A and B are shown apart, each in its own frame.
Chain A
Amino acid sequence: MIPLEINGKRQNIDLPGETPLLWTLRDELGLTGTKFGCGMALCGACTVHLDGQAVRSCVTPISTAANKKVVTIEAIGNAPVGKTLQAAWVDLGVPQCGYCQAGQIMSAAALLAHNAKPTDAQIDEAMSGNICRCGTYTRIRAAIKQAVAKRGGTQ
């Protein structure tokens, strides 16, 4: 049994400790908002927060996540920064197919939680692990900037 705290809820998971957090979330817990894209931490679709840090859940064994706070896209809107980002995403019509956007928002939320007013280069760096095959990058950057402006550049 591995104790996990996911979106504020504690639960014990009966799976081998090497099972990636991604498949535990998706297949065992029904939290399908976190997406599978590559399985090798190359695309960012599976990004979640582990104690506030953006991590790729496809390569994070649940044994590593034990006793840490996991936040997924399903709950990121509970945090002001997440809610502001979601609103900016909708307002600017960022998504096309939308599949990667959960991961994009999770990466952006981790960025803004640590850096209230990132530069373009800092945005590029923080977001470079997230692939969008539809090519929504210019709108992602604009949405992050809009969220920064809405939050007044403060934390």
Chain B
Amino acid sequence: MSAPVARTTRLDAAASVERPLIVANVSRRRFLQGVSALGGLVLAVGYRSAGGAQEAKKYGADGMPNGWVDNPLAFVSVAVDGTVTIVCHRSEMGQGVRTGMPMIVADELEADWKRVRIAQAPGDEKKFGNQDTDGSRSTRHFFEPMRRCGAAARTMLEAAAAERWKVPVSEVEAKNHEVVHRPTRRRLGFGSLAKAAAGRPVPARETLRLKDPKQFRYIGKGQLKLVDGRDIVSGKAQYGIDTRLDGMLYAVVARPPVYGGKVASFEATEALKVPGVQKVVQIEDSPPPAHFNPLGGVAVIARNTWAAMQGRQALKITWDDGPNAGYDSVAFKTTLEESAHKPGKVVRNDGDFAAAAAGAARRLEAEYYIPHLAHATMEAPAATVRITNGKCEVWGCFQSPQAARDLVAKRLGMSADDVIVHVTLLGGGFGRKSKPDYAIEAAVLSKAVDGKPVKVTWTRDDDLHNGYYHTVSVEHLEAGVDARGKPVAWLHRSVAPTIISTFNPAAKNEAPFELGMGVINVPFAIPNVRIENPEATAHTRIGWFRSVSNIPHAFAVQSFVAELAAAAGRDPKDFLLEVIGPARQVSPEMLSDTWNHGESPERYPVDTGRLRRVAEVAAREAGWGKTLPKGRALGIAAHYSFVSYIAAVVEVAVDDKGMLTIPRVDMAVDCGACVNPDRVRAQMEGACVMGVGIATLGEISFKGGRVEQDNFNSYQVTRMAEAPRDIRVHIIPGDYRKPMGGVGEPGVPPIPPALCNAIFAATGKRIRRLPIRDQLKA
């Protein structure tokens, strides 16, 4: 079936007047004056301006820049041939959002999935609501708006049919791409109603009739294949790096190897001799704070990517490294450790840690180290820009297309209205592609060649050398335990450069959103809890990495609980459940967590019953307690993040040479109700493999201010043979009337501690420094 564009009747074809209903409840608050172009970022980092503080606090999608939109005119169109086009406004990076989000609309619309086409929205948050695909938020923030969107479009089609038949609308209902008149069994296809429906008013939100979840035909069923699956396996899928335009030129950029460095001088004569090289352009350096600015450097523009790469190699550049030239990961670890041994800013204080610890039967302490990590998306950043007649078009793999649009406009001195951002598929995101520095590079270079289309491709070494890295941290824990070994006093000092430093170099403490990722909001049944956050200075660009600060926090907390269990001679699973305590709802405020993943503390309390349950389910399904041969053992960890509850039981086998294999992992996930259970499973499987990679191999280190890893030989990631052989995901059934949780990120944090706990159980060796690499070797 083909639907020529000219014959497609948009529902809003006749609607030139903006209907007031449509954009109601869209948040336009600016949380940090002066950097409003940041959009999504600002709220995400939890900064609020003095002006904003007077407003009532908004949560969930309401609290995101440009909020949500549930207007069917923005998201749904029906062609006269019956083809339904649904717009996906969030970016696809492997989480399945281009299948899941339209599925929600199609279900309420009663559309036949076989006749649904998906269109990707350009960056336009005024029209579509927040598009910052980050924070494991898409489904939990847009499930309800997308349901209403589908229900409203369905209502318009039903009203058009009732009018055509001159019958009461109560006698008609949409069913599988048709509207049926129940008394006479007459039917009209969606296509034949398209034009009439387009002329109908959008029904008021409060009048919409949503389905009873029992009537869902797609949501929660897991029967639909990925919308992009066929294109992916046949090489047709279009990623950011795949953009091709007439007359397009190809560019690579030599960027300062040290954060804050700049070009002192350069010589391009040899580069310009490389066949195919057309031009060498200096990109202005941008001194810290990094923000989402390009780092500057020297670009080579050529006939093809290879020529550009050869040209770049022939450049002679002298760098002025600036103040971070001394950044050295070995020395910095010592710096962090020294800070972790001294008191720091108190960020949670229940009871009296010092007194309780002094009176405890026994005291234990441990310290954990997690290095910088790079996202290393398989598709490194790539963007293409063309500027013609005062309009700029951008194509690329963006998690935050509105930020790309605003920042390209700002750099070019144009209005954002004159910038169109086309979002391709993302060959991985993991937070890297929330930062559109590469779009700005392409814009600068297009401008330098009179607006001709220029594609900027990052090579793997660019990606590893000039990333926005996961922070590096030392986590210091102390506990006082009673005679039975149960903790009565808990101290956690977390020391790590903050993501805020990328926007404000003076920032040296973890932000509320980092503390709220598993260091302060630990809901344990321990009466005396003290959490401190000593200062740390960033010497590189720190950025979001899938599950962010939960990685070091969960590693430390869940490892330490297992260490306490071992000290008490207790079963680690039973001990963990005892430390979590009885099932109860804990207010985030009680845990000094003002952030709560941006969600309402009333709708999203910390539910220890759910945390217990995932731990119990993962343990049961894994056969906790079963007898295993020598060198094989299970380890458990449970962690709450992105308002979801996940536990993992990892089974390891360690041979007498210290070779580690992972025969099986069981993960239990409670993310509330699911839209696409197969993608929830897939996300857990992927998070598990990424977690294993973080635990065993991943490390970005600096020497002389420069990243020491260049490619996948030195920055290693998990390959098939080292990946868990069998990953079993157990989804706790949810209720569609209750708030949903995140899925993309929360699977990662429990994996490294569960793995290390299993290694301890198998070998007696406690891993406190990641990555494990050869620590198990004799």
Q: Which residues of A contact B (CB under 8 A)?
A: 15-16, 19-20, 23, 26-28, 30-40, 42-43, 45, 72-74, 77, 85-86, 89-91, 93, 95-102, 105, 123-125, 127-128, 130-141
Say yes or no for B351: interface residue by CB 8 A criterion: no
Determine whether the beta carbon of B378 is less than 8 Å from that of A23.
Answer: no
Q: Which of A31, A43, A85, A123 is B235 in contact with, Cβ under 8 Å?
A: A31
Any A CB within 8 A of the CB of B226: yes
Neighbouring A residues of B250 by C-beta, 8 Å: 27
Bound CA span A46–B50, Å: 51
- Can you give 9 A-B contacts (C-beta < 8 A)? A16-B275, A20-B306, A27-B250, A91-B225, A97-B94, A102-B232, A131-B717, A138-B685, A139-B682
User: In the complex, A130 Cα to B236 Cα: how many Å?
Assistant: 20
B234 to chain A, nearest CB (A): 6
Give the distance in Å from the alpha carbon of A43 to the alpha carbon of B238 in the complex.
20
Cα A102 to Cα B233 with chains together (Å): 6
CB < 8 Å A-B pair total: 185
Q: Binary interface profile of B, 705-726, with partner A (CB < 8 Å = 1, else 0)?
A: 0000001110001111101111
Q: Give the residue name and chain of the A residue nearest to B231 (CB).
A: A98
From A20, A127, A133, name the one whose CB has the most chain B CB atoms within 10 angstroms: A133
- Residues in A whose Cβ lies below 8 Å from that of B660: none
Given contacts A35-B427, A135-B688, 19 further A-B contacts (CB under 8 A): A15-B304, A27-B250, A32-B238, A35-B241, A42-B711, A90-B226, A90-B230, A95-B233, A96-B94, A96-B683, A97-B425, A99-B425, A99-B427, A102-B235, A127-B720, A130-B719, A130-B720, A134-B428, A139-B682
B655 contacts which chain A residues (CB < 8 A)? none
In the bound complex, what is the Cα–Cα distance between A32 and B428 (angstroms)?
Answer: 17
**1/0 contact string of B668-696 vs chain A (CB within 8 Å):** 00000000001100110111111001000
Task: Give the docked Cα–Cα distance between A42 and B238 (Å).
Answer: 23
A99, B304: Cα distance in complex, Å: 21
> Which of chain A's residues have a CB closer than 8 A to the CB of B237?
98
Tell me whether A74 and B724 are in contact (CB under 8 A): no
- CB pair B689 A40 closer than 8 Å: no
Q: Which residues 460-505 of B have a CB within 8 angstroms of A?
A: 460
Contacts of B727 in A (CB 8 A): 138
| Complex interface: chain B residues within 8 A of A35 (CB) | 239, 241, 378-379, 427
- Residue numbers in B under 8 Å from A134 (CB-CB): 94, 378, 428, 686, 689
B726 and A138: CB pair below 8 A?
Answer: yes
Q: Given A27-B305, A90-B225, A135 and B718 touching (CB < 8 A)?
A: yes
- Return chain B residues, CB-CB under 8 Å to A77: 234
A37, B720: Cβ atoms under 8 Å? no
B426 at the interface (CB under 8 A from A): yes
Do B428 and A133 touch (CB < 8 A)? Answer: yes
Q: From B228, which residue of chain A is reached at the shortest CB distance? A: A98
Least CB distance from A24 to B in Å reads 8
- Complex formed: what's the CA distance from A35 to B239 in Å? 10
Give which listed residue, B425, B459, B689, contacts A98 with CB less than 8 A. B425
Taking CB as reference atom, which chain B residue is nearest A26?
B305
With A27-B250, A37-B460, A90-B229 in contact, do A74 and B235 touch (Cβ < 8 Å)?
Answer: yes
Is B376 an interface position by the 8 A CB rule?
Answer: yes
| Known contacts A35-B241, A39-B460, A42-B712, A140 near B720 by CB under 8 Å | yes
| A124 partner residues in chain B, CB cutoff 8 A | 720-721
Most buried by B among A16, A27, A136: A27
Whether A97 pairs with B723 at a CB distance below 8 angstroms is no
Q: A23-B304, A99-B428 are in contact. Are A38 and B721 (CB under 8 A)?
A: no
B242 at the A interface (CB under 8 A): yes
Give the size range of B's interface with the partner: 35 or more
Contact with A along B314-353 (1 / 0, CB 8 A): 0000000000000000000000000000000000000000
Interface residue from A86, A96, A140 paired with B682 (Cβ < 8 Å): A96
Q: Are B244 and A32 interface neighbours, CB within 8 A?
A: yes
Would B235 and A23 count as touching, CB distance under 8 A?
Answer: no
Question: Is B457's CB within 8 Å of the partner chain A?
Answer: yes
**The 5 residue pairs across chains A and B that have the minimum distance between CB atoms:** A33-B235, A135-B689, A99-B427, A96-B94, A97-B94
Q: How far is the CA of A34 from the CA of B234 in the complex (A)?
A: 10
- Min distance, Cβ A112 to any Cβ of chain B, angstroms: 15
* Residue B540 CB within 8 A of the other chain: no
Q: Does B594 contact A (CB under 8 A)?
A: no
Q: Does B559 contact A (CB under 8 A)?
A: no
- Which of B234, B378, B459, B679 sits near A131, CB closer than 8 Å? B378
Contacts of B244 in A (CB 8 A): 30, 32
B219 at the interface (CB under 8 A from A): no
Report yes or no: B229 in contact with A43, Cβ–Cβ below 8 A: no
B712 partner residues in chain A, CB cutoff 8 A: 37-38, 40, 42-43, 131
Q: Which residues of B contact A23 (CB under 8 A)?
A: 304-306
- Least CB distance, A26 to chain B, in whole angstroms: 7
Q: Is the CB of A98 within 8 A of B230?
A: no
Interchain nearest-CB distance for B240 vs A (Å): 10
Task: Give residues of chain B (236-267) contacting chain A, Cβ–Cβ below 8 Å.
Answer: 236-239, 241-242, 244, 250
Residue with the highest number of chain A CB atoms closer than 10 Å, among B380, B425, B711: B711
Kindly list chain A residues whose C-beta atoms are within 8 Å of the C-beta of B565.
Answer: none
B228 touches A36 (CB 8 A): no
Contact B234 A43 (CB under 8 A): no
The reply to whether B95 and A96 form a contact with Cβ atoms under 8 Å apart is yes
B377 at the interface (CB under 8 A from A): yes
Bound complex: CA A126 to CA B310 (Å): 31
